[in-house]
Structure 1
Amino acid sequence: MNLYDLSGSGPESEKFDPLLSTDQFRIERIISHAHATPEGEWYDQAWDEWVLVISGSAGIRTANPDQEFTLNAGDSYSFPAYQRHRVEWTDSNQPTIWLAVHYNEPKEAES
């Protein structure tokens, strides 16, 4: 897969492409077209996540601590497990392409 290939993506919805998954981590590519987390919703996940903006830009808000910042192409950020966060906006002039690495995911209980 070419990370810059935008086929199959469009402004109607974000596109999530799984790239690699093991017992220790998941890597996915996300393509956003002027998207934002719906008002009042937060990501609050039980695992750590590192994101890298490959192209475009995005505004991020976190809770605890409450902060808002911009990620531009080449910028990355690490969200620890249970850090509430949301995407306030993504670039409206070009697609924002993200690389997301999810790690330290809780293992499902063995039966």
Structure 2
Amino acid sequence: MSKNIFKNIPKPSENEFFEELISKNGIKIERIISHGHKSSQFEWYNQTNDEWVILLQGEAVISFEDEASVKLFAGDFINIPAHKKHRVSWTKPDEDTIWLAVHY
């Protein structure tokens, strides 16, 4: 059964929306929907796996603990190595930001 990554977008809420699309053999693919969301100022993601993420729609800024921030536009992707501390410091507040993340 096919699905569409741009369909069934939840209405904006207080929290980002995370949807696991598939998980198998140590690989997880998820859709993330942000709508003006950002990580807490003192919260850093410190993941045990690498993460490849592409921004399908919207705009976002990812900040790193020890590097400059990266602004992403639709179509931009980035690979974040395991244990590289990062956070989402901004997403466009007036439209859905749709991410596709591959954890491996």
TM value normalised by structure 1:
0.86
CA distance in 1, matches of 2:18, 2:12: 12
1:102 is matched with which residue?
103
Q: Map 1:82-97 to 2 at 5 A.
A: 82-97=83-98
Q: Deviations over 1:69-95 (max 9, x none)?
A: 101000000000000000001011211
2:10 is aligned with 1:11: no
CA distance in 1, matches of 2:25, 2:11: 28
1:107 is matched with which residue?
none
2:47 is aligned with 1:45: yes
Answer yes or no: is the 8 Å Cα contact 2:60–2:73 preserved in 1. Answer: yes
Instruction: Flag structure 1 segments of 5+ consecutive residues without an equivalent.
Output: 104-111
Runs of 4+ in 1 over 6 A off after TM superposition: none
Aligned-pair Cα RMSD in Å:
1.2
2:24 is matched with which residue?
22
Instruction: Flag structure 2 segments of 5+ consecutive residues without an equivalent.
Output: none
Q: Specify the structure having the higher radius of gyration (Cα).
A: 1
Answer yes or no: is the 8 Å Cα contact 1:11–1:34 preserved in 2. Answer: no
Aligned residues: 102
Percent identity for Structure 1 against Structure 2: 43
